[in-house]
Amino acid sequence: MNDLSKIKNIIVKNPLKLDCGKEISNFPLAYETYGKLNEKKDNAILVFHALSGDQYASGINPVTNKEGWWNCAIGPGKSLDTDKFFVICANVIGGCMGSYGPSTIDPNTNKSIGTNFPVITINDMVNAQYNLLDFFKIEKLFAVTGGSMGGMQVLQFISNFPNKVQVAVPIACTASHSAQNIALNELGRQAIMADTNWKNGLYGENENNPDKGLAIARMAAHITYLSKIGLQEKFGRKLQEKDKLKFSFDADFQIESYLRHQGSVFVDRFDANSYLYITRAMDYFDLTKQFDGNLSKAFEKSKTKFFVISFTSDWLYPTSENRDIVIALNAIGADVGFVEIESDKGHDSFLLDVPDFLNTLKNYMNSTYSNLNEKRI
């Protein structure tokens, strides 16, 4: 697994009561920052990552030596301009990049916690990350943002801490995980648990990890991040070796080879148990149910400005589900904007170089920050 020696973290000493009923304390929360916090401490943006992300949103990940997952959006002059903003990103609890999770070593046994780790929720994740505000002595964040599961965290954070954020930008997300998405996540979990190396989640005691199961889970999930049009345009029925079929079960088609590659590189940086726990947290997410079927109530105590973003070709978290969030906010007279970005790149659009999206996000962040500063003068 990953060498975690280069990772920044805080130790959360205060007890955190989890939704499952258990309590954790003195646990690590790994984070990274980009840009500088100004003297007023009013330029901080908290970025929430998605399922397979981590705190290394920009630059080069010092653990994997790969480019940060949102490098296209975070940096000098980019959508989240680090010449202007102080960007914070944490690895969610349950993750495997230094925060408390199933791969954390239990000091009592000197073995990874594995499936003895408690089941967590999106609510637990954001409550843990709130400790970063205390650590940096930030009274109020300028913004919170994130896509996919990151967007779910945005919604939950505003609901939990209604007076702690000026601007919220949930991207390509939902307020309630659908039956389709639960089913897709279950497919991935079953692939992992069917791997003979999983050993009820205690594979950390052995040399062999359930890499085959995790690779299949990643392959299946990766399909959902793309669009039919995007797949057809990029791969179509192109063969891996020019125009000859192999008449075997090797990768005849380029799309097969691509998916196998996605699976093989994923297992080098991600923990199978973390995949189980994080997808379960996503499936449990239902902000509407938390407020007795009335999503508007989740935000009625907040004066936060919202800007909701969706993509035309995203069938995993379609525009209709993002609009439901907008409708709930409109119902209470919240300050909310909405845009649907034209893109053929599917759900992954928010992670890729989609100029319309990146420019829209940049213009909104910059103009809103300027307007808020003018009001203070």
Per-residue model confidence as pLDDT tens digits over 297-311: 999 999 999 999 999
Predicted confidence at residue 139, as pLDDT, reads 98
Residue 5 confidence (pLDDT) above 70: yes
> Could you give the CA distance from residue 347 to residue 343 in angstroms, rounded to a whole number?
9
How does DSSP classify residue 303? -
Would the CA dihedral through 101, 103, 104, 109 be positive or negative? positive
Which CATH topology does 8-177+285-376 take? Rossmann fold (3.40.50)
d(CA 325, CA 173): 9
pLDDT at 361: 98
Residue 2 pLDDT grade (very low, low, confident, very high; cuts 50, 70, 90): low
Domain boundaries, the chain: 8-177+285-376, 182-278
Q: Give the Cβ contact number of residue 262 at 10 Å.
A: 16
* 1-5, 111-115, 338-342: least confident range: 1-5
Write the CA distances from 65 to 2, 58, 142, 289, 332, integer angstroms.
11, 12, 30, 41, 46
List active site positions: 148, 314, 347
Query: What is the arithmetic mean of pLDDT over 263-267?
Result: 96
pTM of the model: 0.96
The pLDDT confidence band at residue 373, using thresholds 50, 70 and 90, is confident
pLDDT at 244: 84
The yes-or-no verdict on residue 149 having pLDDT over 60 is yes
Amino acid of residue 120: I
* pLDDT of the residue at 1: 53
Q: Do strands 23-24 and 16-17 pair parallel, antiparallel, or not at all (unpaired)?
A: antiparallel
Using one digit for the tens of pLDDT, what is the confidence trace for 22-56? 999 999 999 999 999 999 999 999 999 999 999 99
pLDDT per residue as tens digits for the range 155-198: 999 999 999 999 999 999 999 999 999 999 999 999 999 999 99
Where residue 4 falls (left for φ over 0; alpha for ψ -120 to 50; beta otherwise) is alpha
Fold of 182-278: Rna Polymerase Sigma Factor; Chain: A (1.10.1740)
User: Residue 225 has what pLDDT?
Assistant: 97
| pLDDT range class, residue 6, cuts 50, 70, 90 | confident
